[in-house]
A and B are shown apart, each in its own frame.
Chain A
Amino acid sequence: MFSLHKTKGGVHPPQHKDTRDCPVVYVQPPKQVRIPLNMHIGAPCTPCVSVGDHVYVGTLIGDGTGLCAPIHASISGTVTSVATEELPTGQTAPVVEIEGDGKMEQDPNITKPTYTTKEEFIDCVRASGVVGLGGASFPTWFKMKAPEGKKFDYLVVNGMECEPFITSDFRQMMEHAGRVIDGCTRIVEALDIPSAVIGIEDNKPEAVELLNKTIAEKGVGDKVEVLAVPTKYPAGGEKVLIMATTGRAVPAGGLPVDAGCLVMNVTSVSRVEEYFRYGEPLVRKTITVAGDCVGKPGNYRVPIGMNVRDVIEEAGGLTKEPKKVLMGGPMMGRAISSLDCPVLKANNAILCWDDLAVLPEQSPCIKCGRCVRACPLSLDPCGLAVASNNHDLVKLDELGVMNCMDCGSCAYACPAHRRINNAIRNGKAFYRTETRRLAEEAKGGN
């Protein structure tokens, strides 16, 4: 039923998927975890434990109201600190610190969730703490609530993993194909969505084959399909994937639901299924640890909140001093200022670089137009960057600055190595504050 649609732009960075054949390894439980309470888009959670409390794996430690996802303890032990801290990612958030007892005991109150209605299902997904695990960290339960008058025609599952280096989603599909397919079936049935499509880049033919085989074995071919999508960055970007699998465009300023799509990362689907099977909320994350400074690059299953330094130690330690450490992939990942940084829900890679760390100096723009051709959303990155630097609000508005998803294809394609999307990122922040200010002034004036 699903067929491939043409997408625009894109670039072809080197893939470096060297860890694709490294099975997921569980790490030794760490002595301490630091769990920030803002691991999702929306308001940070309010801590519901205090210093001295004993927690188990899966005990609720933070929750909130509105756009928010609950957060659970990832190791068993004692809460030693609840305080607002600045993290090496540049964010400030309340952080719950837990000193581990090394037992990794599961919370005895955990039971297998049950549901009968759509609303109950969504409440269960909320309780699982699952957020968009591809990196966006949008609370999954919130996406599942289609606003009044809108409905989902498709569940689009994102198994593209178009970022270089990262292979954690690939391992998830290879090691838990059954869970992925069952998760898809469960979600489409519970939410009354006609069909699901799993988009996978065609550089992972094994995953396509295995999932197809699993679908055939389970006899759910009428509900779930796999679509191999040509390898190109950012084919796994939400809007780009919707275009490739359904041919629909998400309207500017809208959400996937406006194109009738519910988009979920393949690992999110698998974790939702895991929650319904075993009742354990999201407390661990599979992370690709790679880069030329890592002793044993591979895929590691780590408790959320574990220190990046400890994770690297588990992955064979550092063979040399890294010049740059990334949380996430090279195209959209965040460079962290220190290794004392907790692993977050939406992290899917830690990259420690020496040789790739230093980027070329930027030189003047030569107006070659490569950024325009590389933009998957047909924006004018060069014009947007100039407007951003000039703080030209009208031009930013005209060129659709908020459409930009910060994929970095423009900067990658630029022969003058200009940090185009960095400029646009600043332009977005400027645009957001200025339009808000203007709106308030207009309100005050009336």
Chain B
Amino acid sequence: MGLIVEGSPHFMGKDSTQKIMGCVCIALVPTVIAATVLYGLGAPILVLACIATALVCEHLCCLIQRRPSTADDFSCVVTAMLLAMTLPADCPFWIAALGTAFAIVVVKMLFGGIGCNVFNPAVAGRVFLMVAFPSALGSYPAPEGTPLDAITGATPLAEMSAGTFNQSYLDLLLGNHAGALGETCIITLLIGYVFLLVMKVVDGWATLPFIGVVALMSLITGNDVAAQLLSGGLALGAFFMATDYTTTPTTQTGKVVFGVGCGLITSLVRFFASAPEGVAYSILFMNMLVPLIDKFFAPKPEGGVKRALV
């Protein structure tokens, strides 16, 4: 009779990486549906194209790196979905696929795969595409059924920058305007975020300071606070990207610092730089500071530490 002998604990929690990543995917589904309603069938097909690319890339990388495939933990699906969310619904498939491949191969797998990447792969992929294909990502289709049907429109943030913004808050909330397919409908993003909160997958330690600082900065600079919060990539970034595990700090204080930093940089770019949107840059910049934040706000051991080597 061979008894299993191993170290304690002999109990483990029911949560797993798959479950967590699966929850994030489910949380993004309402937004994909909203995008389908707003921008047509192109939106879900684009999302699927990104997911397929991500799965193939991750699996191939693991094969080349000779390690067990991590394609089945859904983390690359999350990356693909988040990246697709930041693209215009009429983005050519090959561009989307290239962006996903960059995110998975360069930003994630070359840094050591899941848990080892410094930058959020989806955000880095998006910034890569913005730099590489400015024209394809510079214009966004307006929702179907509006008077501007099938015509490219300016995003609310671009309009605000230009002083031509004249939409209602309800339109902003419902996403009834030109924009990236997953960034416009705040209601569904919020539903997804609340779902993740309820499932205890994410918390609000980075998200709330992020949004709060943007609100405060809008108020100080005399911008329309509600319009600033409801437009651009803020909701997607604060709900789904500033809550990524690997690329954000581990402690609660660290997360608050991360969120405040993101909010400040986003506001600086939005109000003082030439680009209309700064969420992506702010997240990438703060990603870079995570090791420093983690070092600075490391937990203080109860009862102190007795050093033997000093």
Q: Which residues of A are interface residues toward B (Cβ below 8 A)?
A: 8, 11, 13-14, 90, 164, 239, 243, 249-254, 321-326, 330-338, 353, 356-360, 363-369, 372, 375-380, 382-383, 393-394, 397-400, 402-403, 406, 408, 411-417, 419, 421-422, 425, 431, 435, 438
Given A369, A377, A412, which contacts B9 in the complex, CB threshold below 8 Å?
Answer: A412
- Interchain nearest-CB distance for A337 vs B (Å): 5
Q: Show 10 residue pairs from A and B whose CB-CB distance is below 8 angstroms, ordered by the A residue.
A: A8-B302, A239-B303, A323-B3, A323-B4, A330-B9, A335-B5, A335-B6, A358-B4, A366-B75, A416-B16
Does B20 have its Cβ within 8 Å of any Cβ on chain A?
Answer: yes
Known: A369-B251, A411-B9, A417-B12. A251 touches B303 (CB 8 A): yes
Interchain CA distance A235-B9 in the complex, whole Å? 16
- Interchain nearest-CB distance for A231 vs B (Å): 15
Q: Which residues of B are interface residues toward A (Cβ below 8 A)?
A: 1, 3-13, 15-17, 19-20, 70, 73, 75, 113-116, 245-246, 249-251, 298-309
Chain A contacts of B113 at CB under 8 A? 364
Q: 16 extra interchain contacts, Cβ-Cβ under 8 A, other than A322-B3, A323-B4, A337-B3?
A: A239-B302, A239-B303, A252-B306, A326-B10, A333-B8, A333-B10, A353-B10, A366-B114, A377-B303, A394-B309, A397-B305, A402-B306, A406-B8, A412-B11, A416-B16, A417-B16
Q: Are A367 and B250 in contact (CB under 8 A)?
A: yes
Q: Are B10 and A359 in contact (CB under 8 A)?
A: yes
Interchain CA distance A414-B16 in the complex, whole Å? 8
Known: A321-B1, A323-B3, A324-B10. A250 touches B246 (CB 8 A): no
| Total A-B contacts with CB atoms under 8 angstroms apart | 172
Q: Are A403 and B10 in contact (CB under 8 A)?
A: no
Q: Are A415 and B15 in contact (CB under 8 A)?
A: yes
Q: Are A251 and B17 in contact (CB under 8 A)?
A: no
Q: Are A360 and B7 in contact (CB under 8 A)?
A: no
Closest to A324 in B: B4
Chain A contacts of B8 at CB under 8 A? 330-335, 406, 408, 421
Q: Are B245 and A367 in contact (CB under 8 A)?
A: yes
Q: Are B115 and A382 in contact (CB under 8 A)?
A: no
Interchain CA distance A398-B303 in the complex, whole Å? 14
Interchain CA distance A382-B246 in the complex, whole Å? 13
Given B5, B251, B303, B306, which contacts A337 in the complex, CB threshold below 8 Å?
Answer: B5
Q: Are B70 and A380 in contact (CB under 8 A)?
A: no
Tell me the dominant secondary structure on chain B's binding face. Answer: loop
Q: Are A372 and B5 in contact (CB under 8 A)?
A: no
Chain A contacts of B302 at CB under 8 A? 8, 239, 243, 249, 376-378, 403
Chain A contacts of B301 at CB under 8 A? 252, 377-379, 399-400, 403
Interchain CA distance A368-B247 in the complex, whole Å? 9
Q: Are A419 and B7 in contact (CB under 8 A)?
A: yes
Interchain CA distance A419-B7 in the complex, whole Å? 8
Chain A contacts of B75 at CB under 8 A? 366
Tell me the dominant secondary structure on chain A's binding face. Answer: loop
- Interchain nearest-CB distance for A7 vs B (Å): 9
Q: Are B115 and A367 in contact (CB under 8 A)?
A: yes
Q: Are B5 and A336 in contact (CB under 8 A)?
A: yes
Interchain CA distance A164-B12 in the complex, whole Å? 12
Known: A239-B302, A363-B17. A357 touches B309 (CB 8 A): no
Given A335, A411, A412, which contacts B3 in the complex, CB threshold below 8 Å?
Answer: A335
Given B11, B19, B73, which contacts A13 in the complex, CB threshold below 8 Å?
Answer: B11
Closest to A410 in B: B9
Interchain CA distance A121-B116 in the complex, whole Å? 58
Interchain CA distance A332-B7 in the complex, whole Å? 8
Closest to A431 in B: B308
> 5 closest A-B pairs (Cβ-Cβ)?
A369-B250, A408-B9, A253-B306, A400-B305, A422-B7
- Interchain nearest-CB distance for B264 vs A (Å): 23
- Interchain nearest-CB distance for B137 vs A (Å): 29
Closest to B113 in A: A364
Q: Are B303 and A372 in contact (CB under 8 A)?
A: no
Q: Are A366 and B17 in contact (CB under 8 A)?
A: yes
Q: Are A397 and B1 in contact (CB under 8 A)?
A: no
Closest to A14 in B: B11
Known: A377-B303, A403-B303. A416 touches B9 (CB 8 A): no
Closest to A426 in B: B7
Chain B contacts of A358 at CB under 8 A? 4
Interchain CA distance A355-B304 in the complex, whole Å? 41
Chain A contacts of B10 at CB under 8 A? 324, 326, 330-331, 333, 335, 353, 356-357, 359
Closest to A377 in B: B302
Q: Are B304 and A359 in contact (CB under 8 A)?
A: no
Interchain CA distance A398-B304 in the complex, whole Å? 11
Interchain CA distance A330-B9 in the complex, whole Å? 6
Known: A324-B3, A363-B17, A415-B20. A251 touches B304 (CB 8 A): yes
- Interchain nearest-CB distance for B10 vs A (Å): 4
Q: Are A415 and B16 in contact (CB under 8 A)?
A: yes
